[in-house]
Chain A
Amino acid sequence: MAYELNGNTIEHDEEGYLTDLSQWNEDLAVVLAKDENIEMNDEHWEVVNFLRNYYDEYQIAPAIRVLVKALKKTMGKEKGSNKYLYTLFPYGPAKQACKIAGLPKPTGCI
């Protein structure tokens, strides 16, 4: 199970999440997003970059509410909402956005 990108083979698990997080790059994010039927725009990138920075610091993705709060500051009140996040990532921001950001799948009763 692997993604092919520019002649490189990048392994993923059975659900499409990267097995080696360090192999992520922006080109790959576009491929991952396409697999999810998502065309990356500035707002998707805003979310993906926030997730990656947060993960760097805390080794886990942020709670949706923490993400929404951060987006409110950068994208404004209307777009900084859970509902708007679902329009960006219809399968659910936690799992779908993490996959595109190259982070592990959040686990638990979520």
Chain B
Amino acid sequence: MPETINPTNRIHNNNRPADPVTPYLDPLDMADLVPGCMSQSHSYEASPVHQEKLGFPGELVDDWHDKAINKMGDLVSKYKSLRVFLDSCVKCGACADKCHYGMGTGDPKNMPVARQNLFRSVYRRYFTTAGKYVPALVGARDLTIEVLDEWYSYFHQCSQCRRCSVYCPYGIDTAEISMAAREILDTVGKGQKYCNEIIGKVHEVGNNLGMPAKAMKATLEDFEEDLEDETGLEIKMPLDIKGADILLVTPSADFFAEPHIDGLLGYAKVFHEAGASWTMSTTASEAANFGMFIGSYENMRKVSLRIRKAAEELGVKRIIFGECGHAWRVAYSFLNTLAGPFDFLDSRYPVPQHICEYTWDLIERDIIKFDKSKNDEYRLTFHDSCNVARGSGMGDKPGDQFEIPRDILKATCNHYFDMEENTIRKETVCCGGGGGLLTDDLLDLRKKGASPRMKALSNAREENGVTHMAAICAICKSQFAKVMPGYDFEIDSILSVHQMVSNAIILTGAIDPDEEDDDE
């Protein structure tokens, strides 16, 4: 059963609106169960052009069955964790009500154990003795074309957020099973358009957007103009500067989308005030690494090596990642394996470092200071992005990935409130758009998957008058901008953490931005 919230744990505030607009909704309530109600959810498949750029067959190969089983064998022998996850489930049901897609859709196959079983049942048939001889007795089944289609549908209804693994007594991680399933699908020529088109653009152009160097340069110059208009200072957005100390690798959404750009402007202000020597790179102009979403080690490695190459070519001493959830998971957990060793970098700094770690360190050392009143219009909460919360760490203490972003926000604004305890920190509910699902053709799923978080946010509005939510993930930001209007929040109610930094930072010699025009 969904955990209930202890009313005494909820923070009551005198500023709470007198008449609640919406009644209290338990964010973790399950929708009514309707078997198969999401079976038609099928995001667009990749075209042959998108597939082949990644080294996958253009379309479903004739010997898909044997090829899929061989690949499964390869994966379970290579990844011991995957084999353990497939062998160890005891069907205790602890995960059954923990997936945001399960809660939001009510399709039983969106319960983590059922999702895993789509894969596990085939594994048993081909890789366990009992499954080979008495399949019916052990829930083993043949891999058929219908099963392959079912995989495609339901493994693209998992955002690989790992919330279920927090509650599993064996620590089974559905994300890894989902990645394995997608890799098998790619191997037999049945990839997903959204992810694979994007990875192709990273290989070809250098970023998810497909933004060429010329456009990137022009865009950054435009932002420099904006910063000068706002502050009266020449705050630089350096690009391809050889010999800079720091290489900033940030999601390309930071060059393009709202509210992402405000985060980028925030990083630039922090670097400026700290007097740092930094640069971005036109070849490593993307932090994101969708290779992880599709479970492809080769693609993940290729994408990671661009960053190493850019760091070496520019001769930087440090690499800092901008606000991107899964990029940080890849960077924190795998970068050294994929593209290391980074012995050419300055060993006194973490390799790599998160922009929040960098900013927090400057705050702690009193190098940057804030005028919190600049953010008085915001009553703020923070959404823990799944890949940062459960796929990585930050700082030097366990749990710093939860505290550092909150500490930054509390340093920059006067009104900060957390959402309900069982929807934040390690128990955070996903935005609903992660893991390669942030595509228009999955909008129905995205809206349903976002419902636990949006209910928790709506409750925070009722309890504490919360008006805005900040996040450190490009996907979360875009996803919330899309789903928030459905809950009577403006599209700009989602913010970058460094947007709050940007608003409140005291820049030496700056003109008062309040006297200037802004974009509001």
A residues within 8 Å of B by Cβ? 14-15, 58-60, 62-66, 68-69, 77, 81-82, 86, 92, 94-95, 104, 106-110
Chain B residues positioned under 8 Å from A92 (CB to CB): 482
Q: Cβ of A63 and Cβ of B261 under 8 Å apart?
A: yes
Contact of A81 among B193, B226, B519 (CB under 8 A): B519
Q: Which A residues lie within 8 Å of B256 (CB)?
A: 63-64, 94, 106, 108, 110
The answer to whether B210 touches A107, judged by C-beta atoms less than 8 angstroms apart, is yes
14 CB < 8 A contacts A-B: A60-B211, A63-B222, A64-B256, A66-B219, A81-B519, A82-B258, A107-B208, A107-B209, A107-B210, A108-B209, A109-B288, A109-B474, A109-B475, A110-B253
Q: Assuming the A-B contacts A58-B212, A107-B197, are A66 and B222 also in contact, with contact meaning beta carbons closer than 8 angstroms in the complex?
A: yes
Q: Which residue, of B255, B256, B478, B517, has the highest number of chain A Cβ atoms within 10 A? A: B256
Chain B residue at minimal CB-CB distance from A66 = B222
Give the docked Cα–Cα distance between A104 and B200 (Å). 15
Chain B nearest Cβ from A62, distance in angstroms:
8
From B485, which residue of chain A is reached at the shortest CB distance?
A: A86
Closest residue of chain B to A109 (Cβ to Cβ) is B474
| Contact status A59-B251, CB under 8 Å | no
How far is B43's CA from A15's CA once the two chains are assembled, in angstroms? 11
**Bound Cα distance A46, B170 (Å):** 58
Chain B, range 473-490, C-beta contacts under 8 Å to A: 474-475, 477-478, 482
Bound CA–CA A95/B482 (angstroms) = 12
- In the complex, the answer to whether A63 meets B255 with C-beta atoms within 8 Å is yes
What A residues does B193 contact at CB under 8 A? 14
B interface residues with partner A (beta carbon < 8 Å): 44, 193-194, 197-198, 201, 207-212, 214-215, 218-219, 222-223, 226, 251-253, 255-258, 260-261, 288, 324, 438, 440-441, 474-475, 477-478, 482, 491-492, 517, 519-520
Q: From the candidates B44, B209, B478, name the one contacting A60 in the complex (CB within 8 A).
A: B209
- Chain A contacts for B251, CB-based, 8 A: 108-109
CA distance A66 to B517 in the complex (A): 16
Please pick, from A60, A63, A68, A107, the residue contacting B198 in the complex, using a CB distance under 8 A: A107
- What is the CA–CA distance of A95 and B194 in the complex, to the nearest angstrom? 14
Chain A residues with Cβ under 8 A from B197's Cβ?
Answer: 107
Report B80 CB to chain A, min CB distance, Å.
31
Provide the bound-state CA to CA distance between A107 and B209, in Å.
Answer: 5
Contact of B44 among A14, A69, A82, A86 (CB under 8 A): A14
Nearest A residue to B251, CB-CB = A109
Per the bound structure, the CA–CA distance linking A54 and B478 in Å amounts to 23
Q: Give complex CA distance A106, B219 in Å.
A: 15
Instruction: Give min CB distance, A72 to chain B, whole Å.
Output: 9
A59 to B257, alpha carbons, bound, how many Å? 17
CA distance A83 to B474 in the complex (A): 20
14 additional A-B pairs beyond A60-B212, A95-B440, A108-B208, beta carbons within 8 Å, are A15-B441, A63-B222, A63-B255, A63-B256, A64-B257, A65-B222, A65-B226, A66-B222, A68-B519, A69-B226, A92-B482, A107-B208, A109-B477, A110-B257
Which one of A81, A86, A110 has the highest number of Cβ atoms from chain B below 10 Å of its Cβ? A110
A19 CB → nearest B CB, Å: 10
Using known A-B contacts A15-B44, A81-B519, determine if residue A60 contacts B210 with beta carbons closer than 8 Å. Answer: yes
Question: Which chain B residue has the least Cβ–Cβ distance from A58?
Answer: B215
CB distance from A56 to the nearest CB of B (A): 12
Contact partners of A68 in chain B: CB under 8 A? 519
Q: Is the CB of B208 within 8 A of A109?
A: yes
Q: Which residues of chain B are within 8 angstroms of A110 by Cβ–Cβ distance?
A: 209, 253, 256-257, 260, 474, 478
Contact A108–B214 (Cβ < 8 Å): no
Residues of B within 8 A of A109 (CB): 208, 251-253, 257, 288, 324, 438, 474-475, 477-478
Assess the B517–A77 pair: CB atoms within 8 A.
yes
Smallest CB–CB gap between B35 and chain A, Å?
28
- For A77, the chain B residues whose CB sits under 8 A away are 517
